[in-house]
Amino acid sequence: MNKLKVAIALGSTCSGCDVAILDLNEKILNLVEVADIVYWPTAMDFKIKDLEAFKSGDIDVGIYHGTVRTSTHEHTAHLLRERSKAVLSFGACAYFGGIPGLCNLSTKNEVFRTVYQDTASTVNPDFVTPQTEVKVGKFDLTLPELKDEGKALRDVIDVDYYLPGCPPTVMLREKLIPILKLVQGGELPPKGTVIASDKTLCDECEMKKENKSISKIVRTHEMIPTPGICLLEQGLICMGPATRGGCGTPCIKALVPCRGCMGPTAEVKDQGAKMISAIASILGVSEEKDLSAEDVAKLIDGIKDPVGTFYRFTLPVALINKKVGVK
Ligand code: SF4
Ligand code: SF4
Ligand code: SF4
């Protein structure tokens, strides 16, 4: 059987997704049995011109990880789409905008002001910011432009498949090679397939749940959780009720609450809103007639950094997804 041609391209990324591929250990041999990696700039000396050199549809599977944040990321994403028969959105950053997508809490101008003007070591009275067209000697260069917001890949190009997680290590180990084998045999999964569970993380979690209310929210450094008991019912914000399963709950097994890196299930539009509603019900806020405004404020005060807690991975695809101006 012919080997698949696989390209691995990137946007704004910590490269943990690349490390997850390298982390396949001996399973990387199974990967090279089914696929030739024809483009992977993180691991080898590929340039964008190498991707440009492929013809339309030359690549069997284009894998993209990272948030789309600059003109270069956009160009790479469009190129990958055009050159690939199928595109896989790989990891939380590509799927939902991810942690780099928290950049949407600041406008581009605020970012430039902080970096190029307000830092103590900067002297820039004319507020010179990065230019996209520059002349260096006899060369005219076009440099990447920082876009106004970080975007999920699916908001930039048509995506065929999704593999969530940050990094998507478990999903990758268990699912990537079987999926590539299916593609190799011509059996393509239905477009839009999310390579993970359709159930919530709570459904696969083995912690004991008693459906009891909690009276306050605690942070991870304020308590040592009791093993075997639902972390949310111990007062820790665990994103399990609003998160897709499939990762095998590695964080919870280590008594660390879930941060939601698999994103929401198909039925949920907004992971943060879903989690806020789950918290409201476990805190008894839904029966707010029994709580004073002061009680509610005290409970809510226990949630530090609400955006970073509820939208850590999904802000760019949330219903309210970016800051648009400055007061
Ligand atoms: S999904 Fe996680 S591991 Fe992958 S690039 Fe984004 S931050 Fe890094
Ligand atoms: S809230 Fe967290 S700890 Fe509790 S059952 Fe769900 S995933 Fe498990
Ligand atoms: S438990 Fe939560 S944060 Fe940890 S890997 Fe699973 S989805 Fe991600």
Single-letter amino acid code for the residue at 288? E
277-312 residue pLDDT tens: 898 888 765 555 566 677 667 777 778 899 999 999
Residues 6+ positions from 204 with CB-CB distance below 8 Å: 197, 245, 246, 248, 249
d(C-alpha 129, C-alpha 135), whole Å: 15
Single-letter amino acid code for the residue at 309? T
Which of 249, 256, 265, 275 is the pocket-test mutation for ligand 3 (most atoms within 8 Å of CB)? 249
Residue nearest to atom 2 of ligand 3 (CA): 258
Quickly list H helices, the chain: 16-22, 28-34, 48-52, 71-83, 91-96, 108-113, 169-171, 177-184, 201-204, 250-253, 271-283, 293-301, 306-310
Contact predicate 236/214, CB 8 Å: no
DSSP code of residue 250: H
As given in the structure block, the two tokens for residue 191 are: 């477009």
Verify whether ligand 2 is closer than 6 Å to residue 205 (CB atom).
yes
202-245 residue pLDDT tens: 999 999 998 888 888 999 999 999 999 999 999 999 999 999 99
Distance 17 CA to ligand 1 centre (A): 5
Verify whether ligand 3 is closer than 6 Å to residue 258 (CB atom).
yes
Distance 237 CA to ligand 2 centre (A): 9
Contact predicate 318/311, CB 8 Å: yes
Strands 84-90 and 161-163: parallel
Distance 287 CA to ligand 1 centre (A): 38
pTM of the model: 0.92
Which of 203, 230, 259, 279 is the pocket-test mutation for ligand 2 (most atoms within 8 Å of CB)? 230
Distance 158 CA to ligand 1 centre (A): 20
For the chain (327 residues), the mean pLDDT of every run of 10, in chain order, is 92 95 84 92 95 97 97 98 96 98 95 94 94 93 94 98 92 83 85 94 96 86 96 96 96 97 96 91 65 70 88 96 71
Contact predicate 5/38, CB 8 Å: yes
**Which pLDDT score, from 0 to 100, does residue 216 have?**
84
In the three-class reduction of DSSP (H, G, I as helix; E, B as strand; rest coil), residue 325 is classed as coil
In the three-class reduction of DSSP (H, G, I as helix; E, B as strand; rest coil), residue 260 is classed as coil
Distance 256 CA to ligand 3 centre (A): 9
DSSP code of residue 244: B
- Which atom of ligand 2 approaches the CA of 232 most closely? 1
Rg of the Cα atoms in the chain: 22
